[in-house]
Structure 1
Amino acid sequence: MAEGRTQWRWWVVPLLALIVWGMARDGDDAKGERASPSHRSSDRPSSDARPSDKPTGAPDDSPSAGSRKGSYEPARYARQVRTHAREAGISPRLLMAILYNEAYKPHDPELERSWQRFKPDAAFGIANMHRTAFDETKRGKDFASRSWEELPDDRDLALKAAAWHLHDLAAQLGPDSGGAGSGGSGGGLSRDELLALGYNAGSGNMQAFARGVKPGSMAQSYLDKLRGNWAKAGRAVGG
């Protein structure tokens, strides 16, 4: 009987993964998007969207937290987001908004690994980070000895890696890129918006957008979603 249950689980879990991920928008593909011309919205996140309340529920930064099915809510990780964002010198609101953007799929370790068997280049962890991005980001950092395969189980590591990835993107972007009051270029996009697009579509596309190239349809969709999550992200991190 034990052997029969094991065989049943081996077939059902991958099948469930295919059904769930097939229904969800596959944001992984957007990360490889080319910088192709498309429409561009003039809307930007409101800078005066201040928090009106604080999220309930104490954040859980233990590695085992990642294994609890149905337990994921980005706002519960506000403390870790603020800590890692401060250490990396990036906006905690930006990091939280990206977490909301990346919350379109279930972040269950077993499900992520089952899907990865069918799609080896899939992203891991609550910040949906690809292996290449993680391996490049960890160089010279205090988590250099950690492995990409750990991301589904260690959400704090996933947050830390995402924060430092944004830090590295900011260094590539330079200090004078980004609109929305920064005085720089960016085709009407704020610096945080450019960094979010870099996280989604890669540094090359980010720099193209900073020069005024209009985001393609998938990058624009990611940007629209970020703007929609901006106020909620601000409330979650307290500003």
Structure 2
Amino acid sequence: MTESGAPKRRRWLLVLVFALVVYIIVRAADTPQGNPPPHGKTSVSPSSPSAGSPASSPSPATSSYDPADYAAQVRTRARQAGVSAQLVMAILYNEAYKPHDPSFERVWQKYKPDAAFGIANMHRATFDEVKKDRDFAGRRWEELPDDRDLAVEAEAWYLHDLSAQLPAHWTAPYKRNDLLALGYNTGTGNMLAFAHGATPDSQARSYLDRLHANWSKAGKAVETS
């Protein structure tokens, strides 16, 4: 059962503040004295590129993040998975509500073991299922915070898998991309229930509203010149 909106937001805010405090302490302890990293940047160990990665590899993950910076990766991965690039980008905007700094994500995961990783906020079980028999089958969920192209690749293929499970016709007044976004946020079972007329709760409805608000911006981001 989903908590009501206001108490849930207050609880999430308290947890986020706690995680930020821990994160700041950890970063302060890890930063060498007298040689701080450039402002707004995070030192990240390089990770191996995923198989079939685009020619223009993503820049190393930093604390400064704009989904539009990864438009090339979004277009490539969406094309490979046969899904809408605009949808992939709109979901990245939806999932940009928390700091996508690798160190922060790892601190957060220690406090909340079931937390999601990467700019597409993917849980371990979902990633392990999506990667089966794919080019990135040898990659690990723990790599998602450092490899944003891998995060986009996994997101695109998850949307592909969700799409494959939708019926040919459904009774609910939702477009395919709306249902896929709801599936991304709430899981396959809920997506199918919504397709057959179930009413999304306030959290799922809010996610869909944000998707619609981000839709035009996402479309502009993935336009090719």
Within the candidate set 63, 67, 85, 1:69 is matched to 63
Q: Contact 1:187–1:210 (CA<8 Å) still a contact in 2?
A: yes
Partner of 1:145: 138
Tell me the alpha carbon deviations over residues 196-224 of structure 1, each in whole angstroms, 9 at most, x when there is no partner. 00000000000000001111111001000
- The CA deviation at 1:20 is 7.5
Q: Does 1:18 align with 2:3?
A: no
Q: Contact 1:187–1:211 (CA<8 Å) still a contact in 2?
A: yes
Q: Which amino acid aligns with 2:201?
A: G
- The CA deviation at 1:185 is 2.1
Residue segments in structure 2 that go unaligned for 5+ positions in a row: 1-14, 23-54
| Structure 1 CA distance for aligned equivalents of residues 21 and 213 of structure 2 | 24
Tell me the alpha carbon deviations over residues 24-77 of structure 1, each in whole angstroms, 9 at most, x when there is no partner. xxxxxxxxxxxxxxxxxxxxxxxxxxxxxxxxxxx9734x611x222x100111
1:185-200 alignment runs, 5 A limit:
185-200=170-185
Q: Contact 2:60–2:147 (CA<8 Å) still a contact in 1?
A: yes
RMSD: 2.1
Q: Which amino acid aligns with 2:80?
A: E
Q: Does 1:130 align with 2:123?
A: yes
- The CA deviation at 1:111 is 0.2
Task: Report the identity percentage.
Answer: 61
Distance 1:208 1:134, change over 3 A: same
Tell me the alpha carbon deviations over residues 87-146 of structure 1, each in whole angstroms, 9 at most, x when there is no partner. 000000000000000000010000000010000000000000000000000001010000
Question: How many correspondences in the alignment?
Answer: 178
Q: Contact 2:20–2:104 (CA<8 Å) still a contact in 1?
A: no
Tell me the alpha carbon deviations over residues 134-177 of structure 1, each in whole angstroms, 9 at most, x when there is no partner. 00000010100000000000000000000000000011113x2x
Runs of 4+ in 1 over 6 A off after TM superposition: none
Partner of 1:204: 189
* Normalised TM-score (structure 1): 0.70
* Normalised TM-score (structure 2): 0.75
Partner of 1:83: 76
Partner of 2:207: 222
Choose between structure 1 and 2 for higher RCO, CA contacts under 8 A separated by at least 6 residues.
Answer: 1
Residue segments in structure 1 that go unaligned for 5+ positions in a row: 1-13, 22-58, 177-183
Partner of 1:115: 108
| Structure 1 CA distance for aligned equivalents of residues 192 and 16 of structure 2 | 39
Give the 3-state SS of the residue equivalent to 1:103 in structure 2. Answer: coil
Partner of 1:180: none
| Structure 1 CA distance for aligned equivalents of residues 16 and 91 of structure 2 | 28
Q: Which amino acid aligns with 2:60?
A: A
1:34-45 alignment runs, 5 A limit:
none
